[in-house]
Each structure stands twice: as C-alpha cells, then as structure tokens.
C-alpha cells in the first residue's frame, strides 16, 4: 500500500476499547477501505485505500464519535462554566469530576447518577425500611433515559451499520428487560453504573494517552535563530538600501516559533535551555542532557561537528546549531509517532483477546436466551419475578460484559512501551514486547555493539622510552606526533586512532602534516616529516626492511594475542618504536552481559567477522558465553538460525545496518541506536543511547508487562466466572453485577497503567 493511500485521523468521544472495535468495524465497511486500525490508547485511526476523507469522517460521525481537526483554530472565548472546569484539578477525584462534566455523554451519566440515588438508597441499600413511592420509580426511569439513551443509540448504530452485537447492546437488552419485569431502580442502575464505569475507563486511559503526549512537551515551541535584519525601517533609504536583508545591521538573534524555522538555518541555545531542533553543532562546547531521547542519565559532552536532538537540555555553554531536520521530522517526533503506532503490531495475547471478544459477545446473548427459556419450559420453574430465570438471564448479560477483558491488554502494552521510550528503549509494538519476554539466547555483533566501534591506541613504546612505568614519556609522545603527522590526512580507522592519541597527548611537539606521502599497499605508509623520512608499517614489513630486537618481536606477538594491531615506526631507515591499536570493549558491556545472565538468559553469543584470536580476547573481556569468529553476513544468519533451533527464541543485537540480515532472522532484532534514523527504521527494538545495560531493563520490563497482562486476563475471566455462578444459583443482582464489571475494568486498567512507573536498577556486574 502506497503512503498516499494511508490516512490518519484523531478520534474523539471514545470511552472504552469496545468503542475502538465499533469504529474499526464500521469504517471497514465503507466503500474503498482496504484496511483500518484504530489505536484506542492514542486515539489514532489509520485507514488505507482509495476512500475520500469525507466518507470516513461521515461514518465516524454516524457511529456517534468525532474527528479532531488538525487545523489550528482560534481559541474561542471560554464560558463561565468552562472557566469553572478549568480551575478544577486534573487528577484525583476532582479530575474525574472535571472529566465527567466536560463532555455531554459523561455529564448525562453524572446526572443519571444523581437521579438514581434515591432508588439506590431505599430499594437497594435500605429495603428493610419498606419505603415505596412512585417518585422513586420515576426518578429511576429518568436516570435510565438520561444515561441510557446514548448507550442505546450507540448499540443501534453498531447493529445497523456494522451488523455487530457489542457491549452496549448487552446493557441495553438488560435494562429493557429489567423495565419489563418492573425492576425500575435496577434498570436505571445498570445504565448509570455502566455509563459512569465507561467514563472512568475513559478517564484512566486519557491519563495513559497524556503520558505519550507529554513527550511532545519536552521540545520548546520557540527558538532563537540567527537571521539577517529584513526590510529594516531604521536604515531604509541609506546608502542605496531599498529593502530586503539589511547590510548595515548584519545577522541578529530573532525569537521565532519552531514551525517557522528552515533547514540549514542556525539557532542559538543558551545555557539551561532545551534544544528546539535536531541539528549539528557549529560552535560552542557544552554538556547536553540527552535523557529525553536516549535515556542516558549523565550529560554528554558536545563539541562542533556533533549532532544534537530536539528536546534535550543544554548545559553550561552557548551552542550554535545548524538545523538538520524540520520540527515534524525530528528524532523526538519520530519516537512519539512510533510509540503511538506501536499498537498496530499487535501481540499474540492482544489478537487472542480481540478474536475471543468478537465471538464471545454474541454467544453471551444466545446463552442468556437459553438461561431465560430452558428452566421455565423444561423444568416448569418461574420465568418472571425477582428470582425468576428472566431476571437471572438479564444478570448474565451484565456479568458477561467483556469490558475488563478487552481493555486488559492494550493499556498494559502501551504503558510499557511508553515507559521504555522515556528510558531510551524504543519498542515498535506489543508483538515485539511479548517476543522480548520469551528470549532465551542473545547474539551480539562485536564492533560497535560490545566494543566502541572506533579503534584506540593501547600501547606506545619508543626505543628511547624513559618512563615505561608511568607512560609520561617525551620520546613516546614524540613518536606518536611523528606517526600522526603522516596519518593526519588518512581516513583509515587506525590512522584516526593515532591522530586522536596525538591530540590528547600531554607531551611532545605539534608537527605539521607530512609531505610526499606514499602508500605502501598491504604494508604501510611513508612521508616526509621535518626533513626526515618516516615509515609506518606492519610487523611483517619491518621484518624484511628494518632490523629490530627479538624482544620487540616477542612484545608485538604478545600484543597480537590480546587482539591489538601493532604498527611499527621507522625514521630515516632506523627502527624507532611501535604503537598498538585495538577496538576497546565498551565499559558497560561486561556489566550488561552479567546482568543478562543473572536475568536467566541461557546463552550470550558474539558473532564477528574478526579473526578468532581477536574475537576471543573481546569475548573474554565482555564476558559472553560463546564466540563465533571469521563470519560473513550469511554466516551470521546461519548462526542465528542454529540458535533458534536450539533455544526457540533469540534476539540479535547489532548496528542495524551491516547486521540487518541476522537482525531480520532473529525472533527480536535489536539495534544499537545512538539516536540514528537508520536504527529506528531497521530493528524491532532500538537502544537509543548505545547502552547495552538498557537491554536487560527492556527484557525485565517485557516480562513484567506479560505477567501483568496474564494476571489481568485471569482476573477478568475469574471475576466473570465467579459472578456467573452467583447468578445461576440466584444469589446475585443486576446492580451487583454491573458494579463487578465496572470494578474489574477499572482494576485491570489501573494495574496495566502501573507499568508507566516501572523502574529497575541494574544488577552489579559479576
């Protein structure tokens, strides 16, 4: 399906997960729609197919819901009532009251609650008083009409448009049946409590929805941009200036909305400010708090050439940043969109519940009809009356309402995924969260995953070294400077490691770049430095052209067994010393691997194209249980398949590009993100801060989420079965049944939302 055929809508007026199902089924029947998915938690509807937007909006409206416009309209003047509501707290009981009174349907539910209270007190709570009155029945019927008409209307629309019997139909049948048998108070209670319960479910889900939207608030709405003064009234007419950029004012700092910024412009971020746009630092040094994007708890030092992200917090320096992404394309907005879209990748647990609910509700209606008919017809038992089988069948309709079951999974998944996003782990859907909870073995790429991915100088040894113990040797520093002068214009990773070591050296001189540089293919490089011929080459090359002691050979052979690459340096035909370079293991890798083992991961396997000796050294330093070396990309795929055959569920961690085939083969593909767009698009899970410690956190979060979901499902089914028994033996009541349904829905929602606050400290490295 092409991108042009995908339309996105924000739906309003939903109070429960069944509302989302009603809309999905109704939209699916619109001519031209080839697919639709409504994420209840984020209230986002995606429709595919050649269908007009007007037709989709018309169907949503016909089903009794609304579509929020993407256009920014002028803020209307608030009424006194709206001003009163705005002053109420947003959370707690007052927050729920504010939610009830802010919308027509929920306000009617609140009014119905007030109307049914007299009947509830005298008929249900204090029947021993023997108080009866026509006005009690009248207020109960009024409550039924006020709270029930929206529910009955929604039930009829669903039946007429989608040909579906939903939860609203169950409640409507139960209420009408209660009126028929004269149970007016209970009929009112069914509708009122169901309406209030739906509103309560909508309120708690709104809190989860807002947790996602809070991510948007970390990016400021304005920024300071460097722009030329335009159409300067102060200088018009001077020196031939007639308008446009003012040559006399030059570049000025201008405060603008972020939507007005353009690619390539430069913004200024002062100390303590949030960075407004993704970009590259042109000037300034500072430490940036990247926690909103990567989850890193420690600010990261930034310098010219480094990338920064919208929503992160500048430290103590002033930064000039060239904009690289528009606001809607920033890393922060991509993360938010992916979190909101995560529900499209439904987990098996979610698909099971959806399928179960689809057939369950109609089956309940049939079962209730059988309960009402069979005992009176076959066993001559009472049909009407307070304990008659019609009453029990109506109780069954209420008890069997699948609200709690339907909401038990999506709120848990989106809460866990939102929590992970806030902590620098992007999980692209419930399916991947569930799969992550089952992982038994994890395969790791070496370079850039377990290691830093950038070689660093390990040893420097000049033949004239004077302080081998402390390493603060002028001759060794001079050796690095001479090597750096030759390697300065090379892009080879080993060359960059030498240049970086020279730049951070505390001793030695700063030599100019070498002249007459000549590459020695497969052997090394040579150049003229301060009138001297400097040669940098491999051990094998120096063996044939430049004599050196056996002790040097022994030291270099020992370094090679440690995974280090030796480079020898000669000046004017004389051996002067050596430098060894290696890709170092990330400091957090060993602790992360130990944490994974403590978490019950059966195997940690390193897959690398490096030679066996180097791989063995890195594997030992990182603490992985197995290592497979000399692998081509197709060999890594084969290795992952072997692990799948042995362990059943395997994760593959790589850079998201070179390891793509193996990542795609694994049960769960995990990319070391570092905030890169490629990592976001490639894998099922991205570790945004390149921190392997987040992997153990994500696995524990996924396991906790699945335990929560299973507990919610068992509780929802268990409460239904328990009350079903009470109904069949004649010990229940309709009001008790609806209270049980509302209570179960609320409890599973709140239990799922606990995952928003999930925290876990990493295990100590073993």
The closest alpha carbon to 45, from 644, 59, 32, belongs to 59
Residue 185: inside a domain = no
CATH number of the domain encompassing residue 248: 2.70.150.10
Q: What whole-number percentage of the chain has pLDDT above 70?
A: 87
- Report, as an integer, the average pLDDT of 738-753: 81
Domain boundary (68, 90, 116) is at 68
What was the pLDDT predicted at 650? Answer: 95
Residue 723 — pLDDT band, cuts 50, 70, 90? Answer: confident
- Report, as an integer, the average pLDDT of 523-551: 88
Report how far residue 673's alpha carbon sits from residue 617's, in angstroms, rounded to the nearest whole number. 25
Residue 355 is given by DSSP the state: H
Contact 520, 570 (CB under 8 A): no
What was the pLDDT predicted at 656? Answer: 55
Residue 321 — pLDDT band, cuts 50, 70, 90? Answer: very high
Report how far residue 766's alpha carbon sits from residue 757's, in angstroms, rounded to the nearest whole number. 28
Q: What whole-number percentage of the chain has pLDDT above 90?
A: 20
> Of the ranges 43-57, 159-173, 288-302, which is most confident?
43-57
Residue 631 — pLDDT band, cuts 50, 70, 90? Answer: confident
Dihedral sign of CA atoms 353, 355, 357, 360 in order: negative
Report whether pLDDT(146) > 60.
yes
pLDDT digits (tens, 9 = 90+) for 220-263: 888 999 987 777 777 776 777 777 777 777 788 888 888 889 99
Structural domain including 24 reads 3-68
Report how far residue 68's alpha carbon sits from residue 139's, in angstroms, rounded to the nearest whole number. 36
What was the pLDDT predicted at 699? Answer: 95
Q: Is 192 helix (H, G, I), strand (E, B) or coil?
A: helix
Residue 475: inside a domain = yes
Residue 723: inside a domain = no
Angstrom distances, CA of residue 164 to CA of 12, 24, 154, 440, 578: 21, 11, 11, 42, 79
Buried/exposed 424-453: b ≥16 CB within 10 Å, e otherwise: bbbbbbbbbbbbbbbbbbbbbbbbbbbbbb
Domain boundary (538, 563, 585) is at 585
Residue 184: inside a domain = no
- Report, as an integer, the average pLDDT of 311-330: 88
Residue 310: inside a domain = yes
CATH number of the domain encompassing residue 17: 3.30.70.100
Strand ranges (DSSP E) for 500-573? 515-520, 524-529, 532-537, 565-571
Catalytic residues, which ones?
445
What was the pLDDT predicted at 1? Answer: 39
Contact 37, 6 (CB under 8 A): no
Q: Report the number of distinct structural domains present in the chain.
A: 3
What are residue 581's DSSP bridge partners? 457, 565
DSSP β-ladder status, 286-289 and 441-445: unpaired
Which segment of 157-171, 325-339, 434-448, 659-673 scores lowest on mean pLDDT? 325-339
What are residue 11's DSSP bridge partners? 67
Angle (CA) 699-705-707 rounded to 5° is: 105
Domain boundary (553, 585, 617) is at 585
Residue 159 is given by DSSP the state: I
What was the pLDDT predicted at 763? Answer: 43
Residue 703: inside a domain = no
Three-state SS annotation for 89-145 = CCCHHHHHHHHHHCCHHHHHHHHHHHHHHHHHHHHHHCHHHCCCCHHHHHHHHHHHH
Report whether pLDDT(2) > 50.
no
* pTM for the structure as a whole: 0.72
| Nearest-10 Cα torsion for 506, 511, 516, 518 | 0
Report whether pLDDT(342) > 70.
no
What was the pLDDT predicted at 211? Answer: 60
Residue 475 — pLDDT band, cuts 50, 70, 90? Answer: confident
Report how far residue 268's alpha carbon sits from residue 319's, in angstroms, rounded to the nearest whole number. 6
CATH number of the domain encompassing residue 464: 3.40.1110.10
Residue 227: inside a domain = yes
Residue 364: inside a domain = no
């Amino acid at each position: 399906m092409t991108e042009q055929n995908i339309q996105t809508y924000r739906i309003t007026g939903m109070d429960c997960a069944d509302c989302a199902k009603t809309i999905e089924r109704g939209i699916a029947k619109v001519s031209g729609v080839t697919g639709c998915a409504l994420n209840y938690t984020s209230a986002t509807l995606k429709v595919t197919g050649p269908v007009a937007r007007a037709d989709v909006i018309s169907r949503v409206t016909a089903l009794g819901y609304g579509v929020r416009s993407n256009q920014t309209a002028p803020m209307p003047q608030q009424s006194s009532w709206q001003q009163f509501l705005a002053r109420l707290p947003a959370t707690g009981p007052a927050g729920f009251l504010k939610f009830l009174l802010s919308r027509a349907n929920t306000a009617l539910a609140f009014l119905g609650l007030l109307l049914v209270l007299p009947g509830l007190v005298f008929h249900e709570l204090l029947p021993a008083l023997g108080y009866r009155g026509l006005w009690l029945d009248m207020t109960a019927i009024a409550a039924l009409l006020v709270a029930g008409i929206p529910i009955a209307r929604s039930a009829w629309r669903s039946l007429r448009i989608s040909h579906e019997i939903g939860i609203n139909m169950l409640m409507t049948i139960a209420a009408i049946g209660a009126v028929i048998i004269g149970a007016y108070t209970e009929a009112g209670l069914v509708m009122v409590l169901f309406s209030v319960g739906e509103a309560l479910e909508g309120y708690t889900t709104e809190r989860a929805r807002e947790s996602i939207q809070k991510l948007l608030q970390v990016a400021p709405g304005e920024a300071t941009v460097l722009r030329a003064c335009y159409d300067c009234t102060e200088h018009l007419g001077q020196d031939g200036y007639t308008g446009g950029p003012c040559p006399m004012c030059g570049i000025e700092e201008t405060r603008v909305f972020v939507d007005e910024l353009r690619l390539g412009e430069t913004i200024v971020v002062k100390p303590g400010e949030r960075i407004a746009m993704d970009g590259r630092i042109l000037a300034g040094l500072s430490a940036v708090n990247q926690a909103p994007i990567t989850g890193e708890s420690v600010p990261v030092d930034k310098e010219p050439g480094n990338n920064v992200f919208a929503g992160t917090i500048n430290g103590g320096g002033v930064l000039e940043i060239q904009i690289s992404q528009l606001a809607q394309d920033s890393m922060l907005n991509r993360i938010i969109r992916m979190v909101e879209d995560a529900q499209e990748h439904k987990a098996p647990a979610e698909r099971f519940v959806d399928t179960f609910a689809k057939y369950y509700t109609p089956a309940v209606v049939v079962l209730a009809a059988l309960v009402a008919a069979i005992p009176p017809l076959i066993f001559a038992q009472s049909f009407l009356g307070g304990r008659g089988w019609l009453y029990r069948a109506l109780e069954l309709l209420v008890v069997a309402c699948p609200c709690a079951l339907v909401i038990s999974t999506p709120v848990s998944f989106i809460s866990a995924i939102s929590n992970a996003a806030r902590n620098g782990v992007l999980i692209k859907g419930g399916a991947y969260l569930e799969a992550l909870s089952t992982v038994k073995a994890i395969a790791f790429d070496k370079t850039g995953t377990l290691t830093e991915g950038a070689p660093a100088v390990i040893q420097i040894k000049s033949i004239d070294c004077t302080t081998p113990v402390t390493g603060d040797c002028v001759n060794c520093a001079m050796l690095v400077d001479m090597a750096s002068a030759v390697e300065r214009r090379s892009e080879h990773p080993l060359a960059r490691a030498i240049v970086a070591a020279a730049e951070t050296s505390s001793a030695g001189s700063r030599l100019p770049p070498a002249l007459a540089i000549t590459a020695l293919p497969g052997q090394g490089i040579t150049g003229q430095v301060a009138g001297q011929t400097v040669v940098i080459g491999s051990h094998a090359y120096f063996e044939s052209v430049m004599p050196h002691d056996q002790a040097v050979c022994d030291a270099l052979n020992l370094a090679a067994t440690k995974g280090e690459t030796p480079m020898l340096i000669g000046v004017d035909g004389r051996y002067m010393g050596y430098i060894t370079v290696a890709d170092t293991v990330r400091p957090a890798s060993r602790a992360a691997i130990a944490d994974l083992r403590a978490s019950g991961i059966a195997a940690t396997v390193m897959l690398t194209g490096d030679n066996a000796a180097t791989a063995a050294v890195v594997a030992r330093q990182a603490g992985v249980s197995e290592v497979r070396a000399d692998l081509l990309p197709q060999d890594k795929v084969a290795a992952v398949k072997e692990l799948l055959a042995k362990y059943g569920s395997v994760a593959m961690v790589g850079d998201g590009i070179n390891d793509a085939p193996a990542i795609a083969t694994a049960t769960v593909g995990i990319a070391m993100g570092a905030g890169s767009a490629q990592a976001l698009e490639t894998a099922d899970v991205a570790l945004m801060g390149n921190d392997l410690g987040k992997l153990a956190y994500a696995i524990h979060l996924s396991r906790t989420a699945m335990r929560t979901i299973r507990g919610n499902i068992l509780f929802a089914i268990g409460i239904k079965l328990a009350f079903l028994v009470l109904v069949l033996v004649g010990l229940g009541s309709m009001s008790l049944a609806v209270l049980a349904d509302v209570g179960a829905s609320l409890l599973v929602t709140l239990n799922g939302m606990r995952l928003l606050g999930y925290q876990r400290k990493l295990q100590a490295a073993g």
